[in-house]
Amino acid sequence: MKLPKNIKRLWVPLFLLVTALIIVYKMIDKLPEVFGAIGTFFGFFGTIFGAIIIAFILYIPQGRFEKLFSKLKPENFFHKHARGFSVLITYLLLCAVVGVGLYFIIPLLVENIGKLVKNMPQYYEETLSFIDGLSDKNGMILGIVSAAEIKQLLSIDNILKTVDLNQVNTYLDGAMKFGSGFLNFLLSTALSVYFLMGHEQIIITGGRVLNLVFKKQTLYAVYSYVARGCEIFYDYLYGAIIDAFLVGLELSIAFYIIGVPYAILLGIFAGLCNLIPYFGAIIAAAVCCLFCYITTGNVWTLLIMLAVIIAIQQIDGNLIQPRIVGQKVGVKPVYVLCAIIVGGAMFGFVGILVAVPTFAFIRMIVLDIIEAKKDRELAAAKNDNTVQEGQDPAAEQKR
């Protein structure tokens, strides 16, 4: 019995689909091993991936400087060496930003952290007194949790139990890994210079290699999606980082004016929390207000601080953020929350940071697939109507 030609054509795709499903099932069944293998792969090529990420981040400012130099007269020295000077200025600005941070911000942070450590015993006692103040006559807080149990969890003996002095080698190994990671960062930074200098040639070479395997139409589609995906990531990440910096700066100045202890430390913390959509502002407000009450014990200072946080967050959400971040991502709030939860659960803070643009990129691909399917269905329906009317579709197209 001969099989129809349509079934013969489908057996290869069906076989590949079944094989892919089996592989995915096995990967889900052994997810820790898969992530371990991915981590080993990225660790082996960590320096190269780090250089690619640094070059990706610095590509936008470098490209803008290059455009400025390219507008000069062709015989101008800077025009002839636009790429080299743009890369040089970009890295000089990067070094300047890092230098300013090390010279001004780091000493203030060290001072704040030093005061915090020095006053930690006092804050510890005040925290225990605060817990006692919340409990009723029976020693219960809101009739749910025992104050004694909370105090036991916060006791010095219980905290010291979490520190295993027998794992000193582990801590030293962590310090060695930090030093090795810093060295890899320096090597990645140096390598990223070459990536920025010759990114066009790298793309051309990669295209020639991929052209040996894929069709030109497929490569054009891939290039289009990569360009659009980079635009989404650039718009969101650059906007979010600038917005977080402004919020952190505004809150640091406001906290310092109203006399909140550790204003710089709390402002930087609130700025970092602002990178997390929706949840970040709530976390920052709760932690800062709790910390303010523990360190000052003044309800009026707490209320003024809460009012300042709400005011700055409202100004940021309604005026600053829409202008800087914009609405180009186009993801609804419910999907943003889902993306943050999944990204944070899988990849931690980095996953939270890139969850929204990643979801926007996937959404863009899915919408394009749906649109392409609709276009094919409309074209097929039009051809069927033409055939039913007794006309040749090929002849109709020639007309």
Averaged confidence pLDDT in the chain: 77
CA distance 132 to 147: 7
Q: What is the pTM for the complete model shown?
A: 0.66
Report how far residue 25's alpha carbon sits from residue 18's, in angstroms, rounded to the nearest whole number: 11
Please write the tens of the pLDDT for every residue from 290-327.
888 888 878 888 889 889 999 998 888 777 777 766 55
Q: How many CB atoms lie within 10 A of CB 267?
A: 23
Position with higher pLDDT, 392 vs 222: 222
State the Cα–Cα distance between residues 321 and 327, nearest whole angstrom: 9
Q: DSSP strand E in the chain: where?
A: 140-141, 145-146
Q: Is the pLDDT confidence value at 68 over 70? A: yes
Other C-beta atoms lying within 10 Å of the C-beta of residue 199: 16
Whole-number pLDDT of residue 161: 60
- Residue 281 structure tokens: 């502002």
Given a contact cutoff of 8 angstroms between Cβ atoms, the answer to whether 356 and 278 are in contact is no
The tens digit of pLDDT for each residue in 35-65 reads 566 666 666 577 888 888 888 888 888 888 8
Burial 62-89 (b: 16+ CB within 10 A, else e): beebbeebeeeeeeeeeeeebbebbbeb
Q: How far is CA 377 from CA 339, 370, 374, in A?
A: 32, 11, 5
* Average pLDDT rounded to a whole number, residues 275-279: 80
Q: Which amino acid is at 91?
A: Y
CA 304 to chain centre: 32
pLDDT surpasses 80 at 13: no
Taken in order 178, 184, 186, 192, is the CA torsion positive or negative? Answer: negative
Instruction: Name the residue ranges covered by the structural domains of the chain.
Output: 47-118+171-213, 121-163, 215-373
Q: What residues have CB less than 8 Å from 340, skipping those under 6 apart?
A: 276, 277, 278, 279, 352, 355, 356
pLDDT surpassing 60 at residue 12? no
Task: Please state the rounded mean pLDDT for residues 341-353.
Answer: 77
Torsion of Cα atoms, 69 then 72 then 76 then 79, to 10° = 30
Of 312, 311, 308, 290, nearest to 299 (Cα)?
A: 290
What sign results for the dihedral spanned by CA atoms 272, 274, 280, 286? positive
First to last CA, the chain: 44
Q: What confidence category does residue 89 fall into, taking pLDDT thresholds of 50, 70 and 90?
A: very high
Phi first, then psi: give them for residue 9, nearest 5 degrees.
Answer: -70, -25
Percent of the chain with pLDDT over 90: 3
